[in-house]
Structure 1
Amino acid sequence: MKKTLLILATLLSFSLPLSTVKAADYAYFGFEPAIITNYVAVKKKLGYVRLTVELMIEDSANYETVEHHAPLLRDAIIAIIGQQPEAKVKSINGRHEIQRLCEEKVKNLLTQETGQPLIKKLLFTQWLDN
């Protein structure tokens, strides 16, 4: 028991005072309307996917900046999805890879335009394909 209290007291002495802990200030931007685009399906036919995309913005003060660049970001997401093969679009792992590619592209575009990536995460909140 003494050992446990000593360890606990040691750990507490290294923790930050509550006054220095700051809550995260995130905002979410959703592309409206949902993104609907084609992808290359088997035997040269086209398939389509409908998805909703949310951007997790690191500071709510940057919401309007992200909103201003939304057409550029939407175009980049559509371009990435349109280049994907059917197998990737229809698999869970493929969707995660597409999401990662879109997130990297959006962060790069925002960095080019504003000097900072501004977003923490890009999320696919709905995904329907045929």
Structure 2
Amino acid sequence: MLKSLVLRVFALGLLVICSNAAVAQDKSNFAYLSLEPEIVTNYISDSAQKLGYVRVSVELMINDVSQLEIAEHHLPLLRSTAIEIFGQQPAEKVKSLTGREDIRRSILKALQEHMLQETGGEVVKNVIFTKYLYQGG
């Protein structure tokens, strides 16, 4: 009797775990899109006599695989927006970890706003820097 009860509880637990995994799998249907080639642009340096530049590889997390084609269609707009935002950053922001996170959030917000205007949906869920190099300034 106790053995039967333990087996039933175990089977019920497995059923719950499997159903939760299936629900999680259904919800996470993200796609990734790379802004190729890498972004290489100048940023505002502390000294007017020195140029600073940043070289960044950017990956975009797209809300759904079905929106990947839409994001690819708007890739020039997305890339231009990221380049523009990097070009407006001061050296201290580019060089610090907290500044880098602020830049990432600014890019994400701008991309979502542009996609909302163009498509009626945010499309971009997240922005990920996979390489981040800076020099000068």
TM-score interval for Structure 1 and Structure 2 normalised by the shorter chain: 0.7 to 0.9
Whether 2:54 is the aligned partner of 1:46: answer: no
Alignment match of 1:89 (pick from 84, 94, 114): 94
Give the distance between the partners of 2:121 and 2:17, measured in 1 at CA: 28
Q: Which residue of 2 aligns with 1:4?
A: none
Partner deviation per Cα, 1:72-129 (whole Å, 9 max, x = no partner) = 1111111111011000000000000000000000000000000000121111111000
Whether 2:76 is the aligned partner of 1:71: answer: yes
Q: CA deviation at 1:21?
A: 1.6
Q: Which residue of 1 aligns with 2:19?
A: 18
Q: TM-score, normalised by structure 2?
A: 0.80
- Dislocated runs of 4+, deviation >3 Å: none
Which consecutive residues of structure 2, in runs of 5 or more, have no partner in the other structure? 1-12
RMSD: 2.1
Which consecutive residues of structure 1, in runs of 5 or more, have no partner in the other structure? 1-11
Q: Which residue of 1 aligns with 2:10?
A: none
